[in-house]
Structure 1
Amino acid sequence: MTFIKILKIPDVVTLGNAMFGILSIFSAFSGKADLAFIFILFAAIADGADGFLARRMGSSAIGENLDSLADVISFGTAPAVVIFLIYGHLQPYLVGTAACIYVLCGVLRLARFNTKHKEIPDFEGLPITAAGVVLASYLLMDDKYIILYGIVILMLLLSYLMISEHPYPKLRHPKAMVIMAIIFMLPVLSYFVLPEYLFIFATLIFLLMLLYLESPLMKIPRQYYDE
């Protein structure tokens, strides 16, 4: 089995990321919308974990490409498919067009990332993981805040930011990553244990992600992400 010899622990976690993306789509087809977005948050935790492990343990020859393929499933295809399944019947052409643009821009964003091998302190354009988390957290909020045209505008905005050249800081420091992992786990745990508080934790993540979206304008010093 060649793959057993090639794959390392970070790669297995990356495959977990892809699996959560697939489970998100399956959940949407089963009529479990909230669970579909919870799986996207699960995928985001796995995506952060595989990067951390790769820096500590080293990555395999296929690690970088495997990560991008998993990301396009979990944070590109899954959010688009889930949103169309849930809201497409209201405005099929509008939602479908926004979903297609979102996925295509996500693919372009990942292709650009994979072809730039130089080490840079920031991401060029919004990471697709962040885009997927923004959509998932927004759609887990209280129903009164979720508006169809708001979803479409948000998808188009995220599409632009992904293919833009705006710099977005990389979250690399272990302490910062642990804090974010805990914050991401709150709605996940709430879904299974205290569902009545799910929208509160989802709102917290959404507001934090809005700050990240605005970081190029706010010029947040990189030290707050690195230390």
Structure 2
Amino acid sequence: MQPRFLGRLGVADTVTATNAAIGFAAAATAAIDPGLAARLILLAAIADGLDGVVARRLGGTDVGPLLDSLADVASFGVAPAVLVYTVASNGDAASISTPIALAALAASALYVAMAVIRLAIYTLEDSNRAETVGVQTTLSATLVSVTYLAGIGKPAVLVALVAACSYLMVAPVSYPDLYARDAAILGGLQALAVAFPVAFNRVLPRSLLVFAVGYLVLAPVAYWRAA
């Protein structure tokens, strides 16, 4: 018997499903190697951008937008939350009673909930628009990952970051989609940060962090597309 989905998914959907698988790998490895988990989240972000390129070139399917949001829950909702909680608790279940671990548990759980809500609303209202309301889950996950890879991801910093992103993902602020050229630059920088996270005193993840923070702060007022 053939799988039910055979013939209903396109190439772009396969890339999207790969994104979800990478997100699981990031969550699964967080307790063993948080640095690897952070790099896998960035790799998932590359796949998330690539599926849109493939869909525009080869065509998408009706299931594509829904599949994309489901994959993003794994890669940019659950995986960053697990990373932050693991770092805050030192991967030790016995430390769950410490204040920072409890704060990380609460903030990470809230982050996942807000990511799910944001993605559901995005799929319903924003998936066919050139901008979206609230900070993208991809951007939030990138901020968490590169903050850790940049060497400034102390537990308190990461907990504060996921708490802030929990609000920003559902904040009533519009963010435009990146131009293709800027998305390509971002994807290239993400790939370099994945491949060489500690090269030249961590310059690549730190550069990516500057890029991400710049977009976070300036995009709503300084990056709008021409009418």
For residue 176 of structure 1, what is the aligned residue in structure 2? 182
Using the size of structure 2 for normalisation, the TM-score is: 0.88
Q: Does 1:108 align with 2:117?
A: yes
How many angstroms apart in 2 are the aligned matches of 1:141 and 1:150? 12
How many angstroms apart in 2 are the aligned matches of 1:10 and 1:122? 21
What does the per-residue CA deviation read over 1:182-206, in whole Å, with 9 as the maximum and x for residues that have no partner?
A: 1111111114xxx444722111111
Q: Does 1:207 align with 2:216?
A: no
Q: Does 1:51 align with 2:58?
A: no
- Indicate conservation of the 8 Å contact 2:26/2:79, yes or no: yes
Distance 1:6 1:209, change over 3 A: same
How many angstroms apart in 1 are the aligned matches of 2:182 and 2:150? 24
1:1-227 residue pairs with structure 2 within 5 A?
1=2, 2-29=4-31, 31-88=32-89, 89=95, 91-116=100-125, 119-142=128-151, 145-173=152-180, 175-191=181-197, 195-197=198-200, 199-215=202-218, 219-223=221-225
Aligned-partner residue type, residue 123 of structure 1: T
Distance 1:117 1:202, change over 3 A: closer
For structure 1, the 5+ residue unaligned runs are none
What does the per-residue CA deviation read over 1:168-188, in whole Å, with 9 as the maximum and x for residues that have no partner?
A: 110142x22221111111111
Distance 1:7 1:87, change over 3 A: same
SS of residue paired to 1:59: coil
Query: Paired residues, what number?
Result: 216
- Indicate conservation of the 8 Å contact 2:133/2:172, yes or no: yes
How many angstroms apart in 2 are the aligned matches of 1:172 and 1:11? 22
Distance 1:117 1:83, change over 3 A: closer
Identity across the alignment (%): 30
SS of residue paired to 1:116: helix
Deviates more, 1:114-123 or 1:11-20: 114-123
Distance 1:118 1:202, change over 3 A: closer
- Indicate conservation of the 8 Å contact 1:80/1:103, yes or no: yes
Aligned-partner residue type, residue 82 of structure 1: L
Cα offset, 1:222, TM superposition:
2.1
Distance 1:118 1:213, change over 3 A: closer
SS of residue paired to 1:222: coil
How many angstroms apart in 2 are the aligned matches of 1:53 and 1:25? 26
Cα offset, 1:62, TM superposition:
1.2
For structure 2, the 5+ residue unaligned runs are 90-94
Distance 1:118 1:59, change over 3 A: closer
Cα offset, 1:121, TM superposition:
2.8
How many angstroms apart in 2 are the aligned matches of 1:198 and 1:67? 35
How many angstroms apart in 2 are the aligned matches of 1:114 and 1:53? 19
How many angstroms apart in 2 are the aligned matches of 1:104 and 1:14? 21
